[in-house]
Amino acid sequence: MSVSKSEATANKTVASILVISIAILLRAWAVFMLPQDYDEPIYLQVAFDYADAIRHGDFNAVINNVEVREHPALVKLVYSSVILALGKAATYVNAFYASRAVSAIFGVIAVIFLAIMDPVAGGMLAVHTLAVKYTSQVYLEAIPHALTILAVFTFLRTSKEAPDKWFWLSALALGAATAGKFTYIPVIAIVIVYLAFFEKKIPIHWMVLYGLLAGTIFYTLDIALWHDPFNRLLESLTYHLHYSQGVHVAEVGYPWYQPIIWVFTSSPAQWHPNVFFYFGFDGLISIIAVSGLKREWIERRWLVIWLASGMLFLLVWPTKWPQYALIITPALCIMAAESTRRFYSWILERESYWEYLREMFPQPGKWFWLSIAAFVLFMGVIYLSAAIKYTVGRVGWSHLTSESSFLPSDTVYDLLLGSNGQMVMATEKGAAVWMPPLSVDLPDRWQLFNTHNSGLPVDKVLAVVRDAQGNLWFGTQHGLARYDEKSWRVFSATDMGLQTDQMRALAADSAGYVYAGSLSGISMWNGRAWEVLPAFNNEQVFGFFVAKDALWVAAKRGVFLHHISTGTDAFYPTTASANAVLVDSQGTVWAATSSGLARLQGDDWTYFNTANSGLPYNIVRTLAEGTPGTIWVGTSRSADVGGALASFNGQDWTTYKTDNSGASGAEPLAIVVTNGQVWTATRTAGIDIYRLGDKR
Amino acid sequence: MNRKTKPTVRIIQVILAILATFFAVYPVWFVLLASGRAGQRLLTLNLLGTFIPTEWSFENYQVMLFQQPFLDWIRNSFFVAIMTTISCLLIATSAAFAFSRMRFYGRESGLVLFLAIQSFPGVLSLVPIAQLLSAIGLYKNLWGLIMAYVAGTLIFTTMNLKGYFDTIPIDLEEAAMIDGCGPVQSFFLIALPLARPAIAITALFAFMAGWGEYVLASVLIPAPDTAVTAMVGLYKMANQLSVPWGYFAAGAVMIIIPILIVFLYLQRYLEGGLTLGGVKG
């Protein structure tokens, strides 16, 4: 008998370890893979505010913080402690993931509590998609969810005779859960009251003490109440009432039965199929749980009361957010676990007589399982090696996109480095000036120009340059615009003596001249008027490079050299269109052509292409020089969208593709190297920024 | 009587066998080689490299597993294939048993109708199926695809199983009924265990229908990229201008292997399973 008991204990331990491992893996996966959810930035911002106030010793600022005060302070305070622990290294991104990790830890703790009670129920909570999602995000659910399970679990262990440690622990957990989020409390309070008065027959005075202890813990941990507890508590509760009747809830328009849908479907698996790759078993768990209602009413009525009161609350309360369903998930899992166990026993009993399943189902041999295991291992090793490779490759890369910043469009045609680290961007939907933050704790700044707020003739800006006087010139799809920080002036093709007004290239020299390249030639601004350069009549001009007295021109037929002082020209034809030209610090002339990277030696070009070098693709769009002698090359795929960045130091090539770096893989259109960073304007993915670091 | 084959005939037989084997195996070997070749080249200028791996990298596999939603595709395919198999077995076994054992109004015409439907090209039913699924809200839904596959495979599987049930002597069930079995019990406890080989081949057939089908899957689940099945996902990687052959080959290898393992395991059923239902009926 003792052997079977020890065996049962061992089985339970193994099952619990398995369940906890699954819970950890799924939540860790969710922490990294789930996209940022609606409320996460809000709670994180409050956490940053709390952390900032605590860092300055201003606790009143924490207590009086009015942001999302409708929710108690405990969980936000926990997130702020994460930010404090990160210290000066805290950024939005690392604080975001660290806070998610803390949330996930409490999600796992909830599973552990349930697994101690019932390993099968713990297993069901471990894979429950709603629980995984909302306890792996910077939401308020994880801590109160775990604590309410603890409160009920410990209360169940409470002795009927006299209050013991479990009784007081339950009160502590309930108080702390209340300080985490209010929505859990009405339901759990009903369960506790039922257990106390109907099952355990605990005297009322002990329950009054229980309530007092829970209330004290709640008040202690919800520091937002410290200054004016009753009014602030009332404010919070009335806020929820008003919010539930408010515009936002009405706009979303969930029907009254929406909680049933949340509980009986695995909605997170539909929203995030890459995270919940197993489709989710939420609906199955709920169906199995409901199938055992009658039995549970007889054997464990408190569970039915938990489920019924919880579902009633969810149905009646007008706010129907999916995370609210977490209130009843533990009850569902416990009930489903018991039903599953009974069904399994029923099957086992019949199977031991009939051996039907053993007869019917295939019994694969060890070679089958070994083959499957080898295949899974192969996939796992490849996946892990790729994860390590790409994670290492992405170090130092960041991106500016229209989604993550104020960049007007993800199609960026040109970049211009300004003073004080400014970057001017020419995009499909206007121009933008990016200014770095004034200090590390302040955000970056943006100034946007478009047809609505500036003198730009059209939104599509193809090129940008700053002249010697400090004026900004924008080459657009239809004409040229000059901005002198106060006013705008627009020049049409006719004004400039050109036939086409699509301004593809701009350059300015130290003498104050500005060169505008179009698809029909070049016009030069001499400070008073435009002069057409006759040598380039009808040339399709794509790029300029100004070097001392020389203007290098990249054009359809090849590269031209225009001596500014003498006005003489030289022509170096290329085998394909020249898209950009560059003279490096050592005086070497490079041309970005559609048949590779070309280097001028004497009067001839030497071509680097995919066949004879490390150039990723043969169409070279843009060029820039980094450290002296290192050329950065933007290439585009010939038969597909996208491209790659590469650098060439005269001997070795380094390529930056999506499979070995954090590059977006979009086609590079312009490159600027500054302050140890490579900024790459792309056709479809905004701007890729690569911090050179040791790899410079 | 022992007839000895002439050595020349023997040699020709062996050569033919080698050629046939090469013809059958080389495409798979070719895909395996392409999957490990750097870049997106289907062919190599190195003659030796056409037959043996002269260069090898797992880069294409890494890209497929980490940068493409390949695992989503595999998951979707597995889900569709397994649910198709289960649904098909549930319906086909009971339907086949009823057709084999019971006499009811419309039985004969039902069997004829089955054969008539079987001769109807499945692709022609694509538009009505899409419209039907759209009407019931299952268009772009894996369950809709499963329904389409089950409907498509049910005819063959039911006919195959019916043929096999016909070969099982009814005396066994009658004996069981004398011992107290009802029709349902005799179906579950007598007929199904005896029909295991046919059920295995039916399961395999249904699984393959759900795993490797392209046309229905591409029409019924056109997007998004993470929702499509493996075959559709692989094909979507190609465009009008280029095909990433390396990724394509790596994906193909990873799709083939699990099926290969299942086939090798079930081969003993395959040997006889397909012909089992054709004995009678």
Q: Which residues pair with A691 in a beta bridge?
A: A677
Contact across the interface for A273 and B72, Cβ inside 8 Å:
yes
Of A387-391, A436-440, A633-637, which gets the smallest average pLDDT? Answer: A436-440
| CA A649/CA B6 separation, integer angstroms | 70
* Chain B positions in Cβ-Cβ contact with residue A360 (cut-off 8 Å): 192-193, 196
Q: What is the dihedral of CA A162, A167, A172, A176, to 10 degrees?
A: -140
Distance from CA of B112 to the nearest CA of A (A): 31
Of residues A176 and A569, the one with the higher pLDDT is A176
Residues of A with CB under 8 A from a CB of B: 273-274, 277-279, 354, 356, 359-360, 362, 364-365, 368, 371-372, 375, 379, 382-383, 385-387, 389-390, 637, 639-640, 658-659
CB pairs under 8 A between A and B: 68
| CA A445/CA A443 separation, integer angstroms | 6
- For an interface test with A, the pick among B265, B267, B268, B269 (most A C-beta atoms closer than 10 Å) comes out as B265
A242-283 residue pLDDT tens: 777 777 677 777 899 999 999 999 999 888 877 888 888 999
* Superfamily for the B62-276 domain: MetI-like (1.10.3720.10)
- For an interface test with B, the pick among A383, A610, A636, A658 (most B C-beta atoms closer than 10 Å) comes out as A383
Contact across the interface for A386 and B66, Cβ inside 8 Å:
yes
Contact across the interface for B193 and A360, Cβ inside 8 Å:
yes
Q: What is the mean pLDDT of chain A?
A: 89
Question: What percentage of chain A reaches a pLDDT higher than 90?
Answer: 60
- What local confidence, expressed as pLDDT, does residue B281 receive? 39
Whether the predicted pLDDT of A439 surpasses 70: no
* Chain B positions in Cβ-Cβ contact with residue A640 (cut-off 8 Å): 239, 241-242
Interval B36-41 mean pLDDT: 77
Of residues A492 and A2, the one with the higher pLDDT is A492
Helical H runs in A184-316? 185-194, 204-221, 229-244, 247-252, 258-264, 267-271, 282-291, 293-299, 301-316
Contact across the interface for A659 and B67, Cβ inside 8 Å:
yes
Smallest Cβ–Cβ distance between A279 and the set B62, B79, B254 belongs to B79
Task: Please tell me whether residue A74 adopts helix, strand or coil conformation.
Answer: helix
- Fold equal for A401-573 and A576-696: yes
Q: Where are the beta strands (DSSP E) in A451-511?
A: 461-466, 472-476, 479-483, 488-491, 503-508
Domain boundaries, chain A: 1-140, 151-233, 281-349, 401-573, 576-696
Q: Spell out the residues 6+ positions from residue A556 whose beta carbon is closer than 8 angstroms to its own.
A: A539, A540, A542, A577, A578
Reported confidence tier of residue B280, pLDDT bands at 50, 70, 90: very low
Predicted complex ipTM exceeds 0.85: no
Angle at B41 between CA B36 and CA B43, to 5 degrees: 95
Smallest Cβ–Cβ distance between A375 and the set B58, B75, B261 belongs to B261
- Domain A401-573's class? mainly beta
What's CA A184's distance to the chain center, in Å? Answer: 29
Q: What architecture is the A576-696 domain classified under in CATH? A: 7 Propeller (2.130)
Domain boundaries, chain B: 7-59, 62-276
Contact across the interface for A277 and B72, Cβ inside 8 Å:
yes
Is B241 within 8 Å of chain A by CB?
yes
Residues 53-92 on B with a CB inside 8 Å of A are 58-59, 61-63, 65-67, 69, 71-72, 75, 79
B150-198 residue pLDDT tens: 988 888 899 989 998 998 888 888 888 888 888 888 888 888 888 888 8
Integer angstrom CA distances of residue A590 from A621, A696, B19, B211: 12, 20, 55, 52
* Chain A positions in Cβ-Cβ contact with residue B66 (cut-off 8 Å): 383, 386-387, 390
* Chain A positions in Cβ-Cβ contact with residue B58 (cut-off 8 Å): 382, 385
Task: Please tell me whether residue B138 adopts helix, strand or coil conformation.
Answer: coil
* Chain B positions in Cβ-Cβ contact with residue A372 (cut-off 8 Å): 258, 261
Is residue A179 a contact partner of residue A221, using CB atoms and an 8 Å limit?
yes
- For an interface test with A, the pick among B42, B57, B61, B242 (most A C-beta atoms closer than 10 Å) comes out as B61
Smallest Cβ–Cβ distance between B69 and the set A274, A385, A389 belongs to A274
Q: Spell out the residues 6+ positions from residue B135 whose beta carbon is closer than 8 angstroms to its own.
A: none
- For an interface test with A, the pick among B32, B65, B243 (most A C-beta atoms closer than 10 Å) comes out as B65
Contact across the interface for B264 and A371, Cβ inside 8 Å:
yes
Whether the model pTM is above 0.90? no
Interval B111-137 mean pLDDT: 86
Smallest Cβ–Cβ distance between A274 and the set B196, B226, B266 belongs to B226
Whether the predicted pLDDT of B223 surpasses 80: no
Is B185 within 8 Å of chain A by CB?
no
Contact across the interface for A360 and B227, Cβ inside 8 Å:
no
* Chain A positions in Cβ-Cβ contact with residue B227 (cut-off 8 Å): 273
Is residue A647 a contact partner of residue A654, using CB atoms and an 8 Å limit?
yes
- What local confidence, expressed as pLDDT, does residue A443 receive? 62
Is B254 within 8 Å of chain A by CB?
yes
Contact across the interface for A379 and B239, Cβ inside 8 Å:
no
A205-226 residue pLDDT tens: 999 999 999 999 999 999 888 8
State both tokens at A649.
């130091």
* Chain B positions in Cβ-Cβ contact with residue A273 (cut-off 8 Å): 72, 226-227
